[in-house]
Amino acid sequence: MSGEAKDRRHGRIALACAGFVAVMVGAAFAAVPLYSIFCSVTGFDGTPSIAKVEALPGIKVGERKVKIRFDANVANDLPWTFTPEQREQTVHVGELTEAKYRITNTTGKATLGAAVYNVTPFQGGGYFTKVDCFCFDQQPLGPNETREVTVLYYVDPAFADDRDAKGVNVITLSYTFFSVEAGS
């Protein structure tokens, strides 16, 4: 093989390696948003679905009941108390239900928090559907302010027909509030 042919071959190999590295770096950056989209669409990993209000009239309330438990947590860096008004509710699948929580800023200065959530067990995550939720917005609280926040939800009627969810009688909705820096 001539020197010129070797140089072209080495150039193609280098170009292929650079292309592979570029694709892998792009995949690394895209992984988190793509995984989030996948989870919200499929309910994988306990991610609840989010419904549009327009879809609600078509929801049929089923016979099967399921107990919904509410868990409320606050990260150590946020001086709030956060509690559900009811620790649990028993609902029919398809039944539109509201749950209320109370958040209180326990300091004399304004604070800002945001909630993240999870649903367990994962077999229930894809069927637990939130229509309206406080977790979609940052929550500013003034000094010593207390506020009631709500989540409007239902369990999709298809839950009753899923053989993997047959033994699931309790679904837990868990929220954790974290501190948010002002201006972020």
Average pLDDT over residues 122-147: 90
Superfamily of domain 46-179: Ctag/Cox11 (2.60.370.10)
**Does the pTM of the predicted model rise above 0.85?**
no
Whether 58 has a pLDDT exceeding 70, the answer reads no
101: exposed, middle or buried (Cβ count in 10 Å: 0-12, 13-18, 19+): buried
Residue 123 pLDDT:
86
Beta-carbon contacts of 174 under 8 Å, excluding residues fewer than 6 positions away, are 71, 72, 73, 117, 118, 119, 120
Average pLDDT over residues 107-134: 91
Secondary structure of residue 166 in the 3-state scheme: coil
Average pLDDT over residues 56-84: 89
Residue 43 pLDDT:
46
Average pLDDT over residues 140-155: 96
User: In 3D, which of 36, 175, 173 has the Cα closest to residue 114?
Assistant: 175
Whether 47 has a pLDDT exceeding 90, the answer reads no
Secondary structure of residue 102 in the 3-state scheme: strand
171 beta partners: 68
Residue 32 pLDDT:
46
Tell which wins on pLDDT, 79 or 62: 79
In the structure encoding, which two tokens stand for residue 135, read together?
């977790």
Beta-carbon contacts of 182 under 8 Å, excluding residues fewer than 6 positions away, are 112
Whether 45 has a pLDDT exceeding 50, the answer reads no
The dihedral sign for the CA sequence 130, 83, 135, 44: negative
Residue 153 pLDDT:
93
Whether 28 has a pLDDT exceeding 90, the answer reads no
